[in-house]
Structure 1
Amino acid sequence: MAPPLTRRTLLRSAMLAAAVPALPAAAGAEARAATLPPPAAWTLLPFGLGDVALGPGVFGAKRQLMLDHARGYDVNRLLQVFRANAGLSTLGAVAPGGWEGLDGEANGNLRGHYTGHFLTMLSQACASTGEQVFADRIGTAVGALTQVREALRHEPVVLTTEGRSGTAVEHVRGSYRYVDLPSGVLGAATEVTLAAWVKPTHDAAWTRILDFGNDTTRYLYLASRNARGVPRFAVTTGGAGAEQGLEGTAALPLNQWSHLAVTLGGGTGTLYVNGTAVARNTAMTLTPAALGTLTGHWLGRSHYASDPVFAGAFGGFDAWSRALTAAEVTALQSGRATGDLVSYAFDETSGSTFADASGRGLTATLRRTWGGPSHPGFLAAYPETQFIQLESMTGSDYTKVWAPYYTAHKILRGLLDAHLATDDDRALDLASGMGDWMYSRLSKLPDATLQRMWGLFSSGEFGGIVEAICDLHALSGKAEHLALAKLFDLDKLIDACAADTDTLDGLHANQHIPIFTGLVRLYDATGETRYFTAAKNFWRMVVPHRMYGIGGTSTGEFWKARDVIAGTIGASTAETCCAYNMLKLSRTLFFHEQDPAYMDYYERTLFNQVLGSRQDAPDAEKPLVTYFIGLEPGHVRDYTPKQGTTCCEGTGMESATKYQDSVYFRAADGGALYVNLYSPSVLTWAEKGVTVTQSTDFPREQGTTLTVRGRTAAFALRLRVPSWATAGFQVTVNGRRAGGTPVPGSYFTVSRTWRDGDVVRVTMPFRLRVEKAADDPALQTLFLGPVNLVARDLATTYLKCGLYRDAALSGDLLPSLTAVSGKPLHFTLDGTEFAPFFEGTEDPTHAYVRRAEPRIVFGNTDSGVANPAKADGTTLLDEVWAAAPFAGKPALVARVRTVVDAWVAAGLLGAADGAKAVSTASAATYQP
């Protein structure tokens, strides 16, 4: 029976309500100013994040860590890569690095994605708390991205920096800008001097100060660094193998001005650095005249397409039609001299051109290596070239093209969330422009090309872009946006899943999970049932067939064969992004069909993998979220994966600022309130004029109290009865037990007219249970209620655990463990501590243990008889306890006798040993 309502219960409810800060009226109105209309097909509707305030507890503590990170991180660092790509000032900000910069894995081919994640996190934080700091940061980002798009629409404009005296022109790394000189700069000169003031800001090899040539056969160049890191000049009419060259002796210093000069004449070439000759070659027979007519005369760009663009500043460039003397070159350090072939001071402060002071009128032009976007709606942190190259790719190579539409999705999603959180029309305009741009590209491609693109691992990954585009369409109403969403159909996958044919083995998990959330939203928009059927069937191919106990899926980012769990466990299991996307899919499916299995999965994954993926430590610079969660024995979670700014750190930021998004749902007709998760919170249901305060320390508390305040309102309260709640689930209303029989894995309904002050108390005792790996039943993971318990031990082999020794008549295995005083949900077994998976520590953990029950033991009494096993691994004790719960000790003893008799008759157990087993069971003492 449920415990009676007490003064302590009421006080706790009042304290929780007081602990949750009220959303300021202005901020709340702003947060709800822009709304996304719910699809007509949804029978359930979510509440806004601002409608559900989290109270103190495990979720509140984790969220606070992420909110502090969101407040403290400099958004200008995220915007650096966008501003650089557009040729705008980066305000001195340093890019985050990792996947969000020009170095590291794949040289920044995914940059921009993390900014989208961060915008979503800020938007969720703003909607949840109403704090102005988050709205201000969103405004900064949206304003900057608006400027970036405008800059990308036009020819690049001079970006000035401080020169040796006066101003100089700056090429920010990642801007892909160079100076294009008119043809005929060198003419048919048989002698030449080339001189430039440069301040390099990056040490990439083969960056060109100048490169005059046709292709990779006839050219002359001056590189700030070659493969050895020193300046090099070369001239050739026969490609790299026929170069005549000069090499310096030391690297040019970064972030300092250096003067380089090359003289070529009379068969001798000399390279000067800061007025000093550092290399001389007396066998240089090639001159500009020998190169003939050249088509490309570039400062800062190479004719070798794979070479990086010069990053740094130009303070001047001059060319003479003779070889200056050493004294003349030295004199260039202290005064300005004007070349007779061409002369640029680079002191312009606006525009896209540079004046020539030589008298020849050879005006130079600032250009991008990739030209410019194909559509004015283009917005990215890198050139459009990745999108273009993808259209002709036949095999994946993420070092060249790394999921450009995935990155576009994150940016689009962040902009939509920013608009919904702050009603900033600039964000919606940017998002709509992105939709227009994508449609302009993809609508022109043949279907066969699209199918090939989307089938490419990694390069063709597009994340949850279909869901985002459907949301964009709901806001914009543009037919082109809905048509765009359908252009991402991967028919082979959709048709297989719609036919319930499992083809997931070998597929990249996170590339495909968000596709199905998008398909559900396409079903909402189009009514095409194959989309919805495919998504439902897909979900059941993953849950439980490719699901680990914590709810995660994938190994090394990929799926293996159905029901292979033990055989896939390693250091790279359970990619965190997969959990995020499976939760999103489960939630979206539940809006259509209220199958409690979706919310059982949601609770499992949220309370275990998602909570456990965030370290319990503050950090202003990193979100401290795992990429993989290794389930191998003794695994230590890595909360700073790879080089930072990974996909999983991005989704981890999002997860931690929307923990409350699925605690409550309401029926579309307003007739019911679903309580899906048990978490301290306050729901404001404005349409009903009521608040519902949930007071609990769940999962440290095995129950919850819900208090209704406000107007009198009639609705059905539907309380989820978790599938694990086999030890009872009791509900009282104002101290009186509610009628009906709660069934695990369903919803229990209390229908009434609710009045101010009504209190509902729910109790749900936890039991310790095990879940077995489908392909190795002896490999098991432990659960207490919804909480996965992991062993903390340095061993790197599976721990062996026996759990039947003191099992209760109910079948609860918990009595075999010893509770740790003062540490809720912590236990010991044979000296090993077991703790909740959700605790974000760096302890070595064992999520799975090897079940070992060597002897028949009842009530901690050892019979001395070996526990026999069948060929499939099922032991005698397994068969006995499979019949739990037992009404009393006689029922258990009767079960033991029945099983023993069957095993003796089958020749699996001797008669004498069988008698010992029965007598031990009869003599033992058991907990209920």
Structure 2
Amino acid sequence: MAPPLSRRSLLQAAALAAATPAVVRAGAGPAVASAAAPAAWTVRPFALSDVTLGAGVFADKRELTLDHARGYDIDRLLQVFRANAGLPTGDAVAPGGWEGLDGEANGNLRGHYTGHFLTMLAQAFASTGERVFAEKIGAAVGALTEARAALRAEPAVLSVPGPFGAAAQQGRGSYQYVDLPAGVLGGASAVTLAAWVKPTHDDAWARVLDFGDDTIRYLYLAARNANGVPRFAVTTGGAGGEQGIDGTAALPTDRWSHLAVTVADGTGTLYVDGTAVGRNTAMTLTPAALGTLAHHWLGRSPYPADPVLAGAFGGFDVWSRALGADEVAALRTARPADTPAGRGDLASYAFDETGGGRFADASGRGLAATLRRTWGGPSHPGFLAAYPETQFIRLESMTGSDYTTVWAPYYTAHKILRGLLDAHTATDDDRALDLASGMGDWMYARLSALPAATLQRMWGIFSSGEFGGIVEAVCDLHAVTGKAEHLALARLFDLDRLIDACAANTDTLDGLHANQHIPIFTGLVRLYDETGEQRYLTAARNFWGMVVPTRMYGIGGTSTGEFWKAAGVIAGTIGATTAETCCAYNMLKLSRALFLHEQNPAYMDYYERALYNQVLGSKRDLADAEKPLVTYFIGLSPGHVRDYTPKQGTTCCEGTGLENATKYQDSVYFARPDGSALYVNLYSPSTLRWAERGVTLTQTTGFPNEQGSTLTVGGEEAAFALRLRVPGWATSGFGVTVNGRAVPGDPAPGTYFEVSRTWRPGDVVRVAIPFGLRVEKALDDPSLQALFHGPVLLVARDRATEYLELGLYRNAALSGDLLPGFSPVPGEPLHLRLGTTEFAPFFEGTEDPSHAYFRRTEPAVVFGTVDSGVANPARADGTSLLDEIWSGAPFCTKAALVTRVRATVATWVTAGLLGATDGRTVVATAERARFVA
């Protein structure tokens, strides 16, 4: 094994791979080390700290997210971790949605959002240097360190004020209960059970107590039944044989209530706060009839779906007789020892301990109780999560998808791990690395013990087996720790049937969940970096080609209702749930990862498309302290209104949305490892500090409102090639000048235009990138089209819920540009009007109903403003005569256009698609018409 790189260099390599900041401390210079980049990379990225955003749409969008991050209470994100560990949560309220126990699927994804938030904070700190972000990172890492330590230890009592002194808190989400010794009922033929309880949530069927064998022989007292009132029941024949007593009113939450049950001589009575609220005079079952029972629990039910009681116990006593009504009433006002009843003779717990995990029994029988977790505890000291390890354990035996039971635990682990790695890289906090390394150790301990067939089954399960980008994160962890187990762990996530199919360029994506699978391939690229195994890179490259463009909408997004359909089906999948935002985030990451190995301009053409359209458009242009205001789906159906607060917040897409908005500059520039070339991929106002060459490069541009960019060189003199991306849409007029002199060459669309020279401070490069107004046709329905101005998709703002029918050839320029048929909207850049319909950039984060696609209708052959009066014929595939003519654009002169018209008309007349007389009329019309260049 080769000698390891320094720890610092490894940190930087991992940071660059993940597009997160390299180590940055106050006053520190740029932190980039090209030597640390994987040998497989043919270019390397720059750290976020090396690229400063200038004023423009990216900076404006980012500021909305930064402002949200500055003010958001980090303790809210940590609430679920602290609760799971049995730690105090204070007054913090979990963010809700997928992060709270009341969210979808009982919040079985909780913790993922905290990981996203950590990554966002790390990126924000690297980009801005603001200490507030580092302080929030430090607070979060400290709390997570405490939570892991608490999980490693036996649960300890959380003491809170009770009705007569201290009481024992059972935090919601802690999964803690009190385990009583087996003899607590003593085989009594008469009994009184009394407890002080303070519910903090209105869960149905949360048990105050449950003594039984399983779900056949038991007695229980529930704080709320299905009707919301207390219920006591005893049975030897399961639920159908219960002899029960129901209360009459719900117990209040966040207030102490005294509950008591007496059973004797065939009568059972339920008391609430000293008053009898229910009686059953046919209760023949007593503890003696139950015999020896397996469990005696306070706060826990034997039914897996029942919640653990959230609240506090202020006392619990058991008597071997039925107390009288006066005795029960007296218990409401004093401790049992200070009432006529005295302490319970079978058991008596005050719950006034302020530490430890044992509760003393004052009955004289020595039946000390123990505080336990329903799931026992972690299988490995590195375990860290916001829910029990049972989510991971259950996945190992699942054969079908059920996200209400198990919801993507390794996906959640990925987000936490990624956030910790990014936190460590940004602030050099060793606690974060220790937590991340521990998570890697724990996952390896779990997964390495499983048969290969089990792993393949797990990772093939929809939703439950989803693991996000964990392979990428684990590879980055391995780059830092050098632990062989961590690299071995990364390979344990191989989903062979998918990898092998894509490596063979066999498309099996139809019917798959898109976002479950896209990040798998980013991980495979990193695995290739670490292992050199070619099938990983080949699979990822082929997979990208299966999505772009055959499953891609005009905005760069993919998926419908989260799933893929057959390749080439675009129009047939458009609806309100197209283009899940996470998919765009992950496709950007994959495109970037592939570009590090092969500088195919198509990767950056896609990157620009998705970034300037879906990603920017997914963020609402509004500040909000509570929510990040990011879309989940961006519906492309006619008249769709974007939903910026999906599913009550904290979804996967809002998490990735936080990350998107704090790394807009991550792919503007790349450099060859030897410093011989600098790639400019995006025309974005920004300043690059290229430390290795001592060079700065400042882009000044209003792009996309400006059709070009000015790049000014600063720093030291240096020789290198400046490689400027020629966008695939830039079909005419792309040009470059250096210090005012034109650079010769033929800049073909979809290539890089290279300017190689010795650069000196003050050199100015001007890049002209004329926009054209053009359409893109849906692959499966050419009449369904999207309108683009340069890189920007323009949406029609209209409340109609049917596709708008528009004709665009009238007044088309000789270049093929459709712009002359539109008029600009004064004071609104990139806003155009066609008749009464206004078009606006997709990236504007508004709630206006919009149309990303329209129905193209060109009923008559029109050139310029002259209507030939001839119907526009079409072939069987939908291609019209005008389509055929204008596909030959650009035309250098009107004569060239007329020549194209004559040739096309002749072909169509010969094919019987157009009459000879109409053909002559069409040619004559073209000859009379006037055209702009």
Q: TM-score, length-normalised on structure 1?
A: 0.97
Shift, 1:24, TM fit? 14
Distance in 2 between the 1:883 and 1:35 partners? 46
SS at match of 1:29: coil
Whether 1:183 and 2:182 are equivalent positions in the alignment is yes
Counterpart for residue 811 of structure 2: 806
* Matched residue type, 1:684: R
The 8 Å contact of residues 24 and 426 in structure 2, kept in 1 or not, is answered as: no
SS at match of 1:597: helix
Distance in 2 between the 1:914 and 1:255 partners? 84
May I ask how many residue pairs the two structures share in their alignment?
Answer: 906
Distance 1:120 1:31, change over 3 A: farther
Counterpart for residue 318 of structure 2: 319
Whether 1:109 and 2:108 are equivalent positions in the alignment is yes
* Matched residue type, 1:312: G
Shift, 1:358, TM fit? 1.0
Q: How does 1:708-787 map to 2 (within 5 A)?
A: 708-787=713-792
Distance 1:535 1:823, change over 3 A: same
Distance in 2 between the 1:312 and 1:119 partners? 30
Shift, 1:31, TM fit? 8.3
Whether 1:86 and 2:47 are equivalent positions in the alignment is no
* Matched residue type, 1:775: D
- Structure 1, unmatched stretches of 5+, are 1-22
Whether 1:572 and 2:571 are equivalent positions in the alignment is no
Counterpart for residue 152 of structure 1: 151
SS at match of 2:386: coil
Distance in 2 between the 1:341 and 1:811 partners? 92
Shift, 1:30, TM fit? 8.5
The 8 Å contact of residues 84 and 387 in structure 2, kept in 1 or not, is answered as: yes
Counterpart for residue 513 of structure 1: 518
Counterpart for residue 442 of structure 2: 437
Whether 1:622 and 2:623 are equivalent positions in the alignment is no
Counterpart for residue 242 of structure 2: 243
Whether 1:902 and 2:907 are equivalent positions in the alignment is yes
Shift, 1:901, TM fit? 2.1
Aligned pair partner of 2:530 in 513, 525, 529: 525
Distance in 2 between the 1:132 and 1:730 partners? 42
Counterpart for residue 640 of structure 1: 645
Distance 1:571 1:36, change over 3 A: farther
Shift, 1:32, TM fit? 4.1
Q: How does 1:415-430 map to 2 (within 5 A)?
A: 415-430=420-435
Cα deviations across residues 25-48 of structure 1 (Å, max 9, x unaligned)?
952529849999421110111101
SS at match of 1:245: strand
Q: How does 1:264-413 map to 2 (within 5 A)?
A: 264-337=263-336, 338-413=343-418
The 8 Å contact of residues 721 and 745 in structure 1, kept in 2 or not, is answered as: yes
SS at match of 1:873: coil
| 305-314 vs 375-384, greater mean Cα deviation | 305-314
Q: TM-score, length-normalised on structure 2?
A: 0.96
SS at match of 1:661: coil
Shift, 1:752, TM fit? 1.0
Shift, 1:907, TM fit? 2.3
* Matched residue type, 2:159: T
Distance in 2 between the 1:248 and 1:442 partners? 48
* Matched residue type, 1:61: D
The 8 Å contact of residues 860 and 869 in structure 2, kept in 1 or not, is answered as: yes
Whether 1:841 and 2:841 are equivalent positions in the alignment is no
* Matched residue type, 1:269: G
Distance in 2 between the 1:577 and 1:36 partners? 32
Cα deviations across residues 594-642 of structure 1 (Å, max 9, x unaligned)?
1000000000000000000000000011010000011111111100011
| 100-109 vs 462-471, greater mean Cα deviation | 100-109
Distance in 2 between the 1:253 and 1:54 partners? 53
Counterpart for residue 697 of structure 1: 702
The 8 Å contact of residues 32 and 421 in structure 1, kept in 2 or not, is answered as: no
Distance 1:34 1:434, change over 3 A: farther
Counterpart for residue 18 of structure 1: none
Cα RMSD of the aligned pairs, angstroms, is 1.3
Distance in 1 between the 2:36 and 2:515 partners? 28
Distance 1:460 1:690, change over 3 A: same
* Matched residue type, 1:105: E
* Matched residue type, 1:642: K
Counterpart for residue 12 of structure 1: none
Counterpart for residue 74 of structure 2: 75
Shift, 1:165, TM fit? 3.4
Q: How does 1:525-604 map to 2 (within 5 A)?
A: 525-604=530-609
* Matched residue type, 1:472: L
- Structure 2, unmatched stretches of 5+, are 1-21, 337-342
Counterpart for residue 17 of structure 1: none
Counterpart for residue 9 of structure 2: none
Distance in 2 between the 1:458 and 1:242 partners? 38
The 8 Å contact of residues 261 and 271 in structure 1, kept in 2 or not, is answered as: yes
Q: What is the percentage of aligned positions where both structures have the same residue? A: 77
The 8 Å contact of residues 613 and 792 in structure 2, kept in 1 or not, is answered as: yes
Cα deviations across residues 408-463 of structure 1 (Å, max 9, x unaligned)?
00000000000000000000000000000000000000000000000000000000
Q: How does 1:779-798 map to 2 (within 5 A)?
A: 779-798=784-803
* Matched residue type, 2:795: V
Aligned pair partner of 2:835 in 830, 835, 842: 830
The 8 Å contact of residues 207 and 307 in structure 1, kept in 2 or not, is answered as: yes
Aligned pair partner of 2:461 in 453, 456, 465: 456
SS at match of 1:828: strand
Counterpart for residue 878 of structure 1: 883
SS at match of 1:649: helix
Shift, 1:830, TM fit? 2.0
Distance in 2 between the 1:230 and 1:30 partners? 64
In the TM superposition, structure 1's runs of 4+ consecutive aligned residues that sit over 3 Å from their partners are 23-26, 30-37
SS at match of 1:435: helix
Counterpart for residue 15 of structure 1: none
Counterpart for residue 667 of structure 1: 672
Cα deviations across residues 179-231 of structure 1 (Å, max 9, x unaligned)?
00111011111111110011101111110000111111111111000011000
Cα deviations across residues 459-485 of structure 1 (Å, max 9, x unaligned)?
000000000000000000000000000
Whether 1:678 and 2:683 are equivalent positions in the alignment is yes
Distance in 2 between the 1:28 and 1:450 partners? 46
Shift, 1:870, TM fit? 1.4
Distance in 1 between the 2:217 and 2:23 partners? 68
Distance in 1 between the 2:595 and 2:800 partners? 41
The 8 Å contact of residues 31 and 421 in structure 1, kept in 2 or not, is answered as: no
Aligned pair partner of 1:917 in 901, 906, 922: 922
Distance in 1 between the 2:876 and 2:187 partners? 89
Q: How does 1:195-234 map to 2 (within 5 A)?
A: 195-234=194-233
Shift, 1:910, TM fit? 2.2
